[in-house]
Amino acid sequence: MFQIRIHGRGGQGVVTAAEMLSVAAFIEGHHAQAFPSFGSERTGAPVVAYCRIDDREIRLREPILEPDAIIIQDPTLLNQVDVFGGLRREGFVLINTSRTFEALGLGEFAAQFPPRHVCTVPATEIALKLIGRPLPNAALLGGFAAATGRITLESVSAAIREKFSGRVAEGNVAAAAESFAHVRREKEELDHAQAD
């Protein structure tokens, strides 16, 4: 089982992101379960949503306490919520930011994980450019696909088109593709740096 926890703020589409992620996994023939941590339904309040992916029926209903991957939609949460709580040693981290882990004060923390597992993507900027609104959720799923290889960009795009339609869908699909390319480039640069 692969477990993902998404942290963000009310209004950023955190719950929708988990739902779309589960749809993308379903499209690829997996079992998937997405659910929100209910309650804080106020704009701007910290929100958590979860997604489990497995190749057999998922019966477990507890919150995800030991995630394999964490997506952080809003880096201002870093000082407010224990976003990394329970993250597995081989886990993945994807943060929506145009800054580096070092600039965020997370250099030492990030160094504990396999280097290709910790990624950043300026998803809000990409969303503003391609959707016209600061909604980073779909873009981050593209980044997640590149970071983890757990789902394909094609499945993410199909899930986005299932949730939205018309111009909104296409804007989000484009944002996911650009984030995917961004994270892939990030990893390639890392490979080159290691090769050097």
Partner 1 sequence: MLKQIEGSRAVAEAVALCRPEVICAYPISPQTHIVEALGELVKGGELSPCEFINVESEFAAMSVAIGAAAAGARSYTATASQGLLFMAEAVYNAAGLGLPIVMTVANRAIGAPINIWNDHTDVMSQRDCGWILLFAETNQEALDLHIEAFRLAQALSLPVMVCMDGFILTHAYERVDMPSQEQVDAFLPPFDPRQVLDPERPVSMGAMVGPEAFMEVRYLEHVRQMRALELIPGWAEQFRDAFGRDSGGLMHAYRTEDAETIVVALGSVLGTIKDTVDEMRAKGDRIGVLGITCFRPWPANAVRDALAGAKRIVVVEKSIAVGLGGIVSANVRTSFAGHADTVHTVVAGLGGRAITRQSLAGVFASAAAGTLPPLTFLDLDHGLVERALARERETRHSGPVAEGLLRDVGLVAAKIS
Interface positions with partner 1 (CB under 8 A): 15, 18-19, 22-23, 26-27, 31-40, 45-46, 48, 58-63, 65
Contact between 96 and 72 under an 8 Å Cβ cutoff? The reply is yes
Nearer to partner 1, 27 or 126 (CB): 27
Element (H, E) at 127: helix 123-130
* Shortest CB 66 distance to partner 1, Å: 11
* Shortest CB 111 distance to partner 1, Å: 28
Nearer to partner 1, 45 or 111 (CB): 45
Contact between 65 and 50 under an 8 Å Cβ cutoff? The reply is no
* Shortest CB 39 distance to partner 1, Å: 5
Residue 21: exposure state from Cβ atoms within 10 A (0-12, 13-18, ≥19): buried
Nearer to partner 1, 31 or 187 (CB): 31
Nearer to partner 1, 176 or 183 (CB): 176
Nearest to 121 by CA among 111, 104, 136: 136
Q: What are phi and psi of 154, to 5 degrees?
A: -60, -40
Nearer to partner 1, 28 or 125 (CB): 28
Cα angle value 13/94/97 (rounded, 5°) = 75
Contact between 6 and 71 under an 8 Å Cβ cutoff? The reply is yes
* Shortest CB 119 distance to partner 1, Å: 25
* Shortest CB 21 distance to partner 1, Å: 9
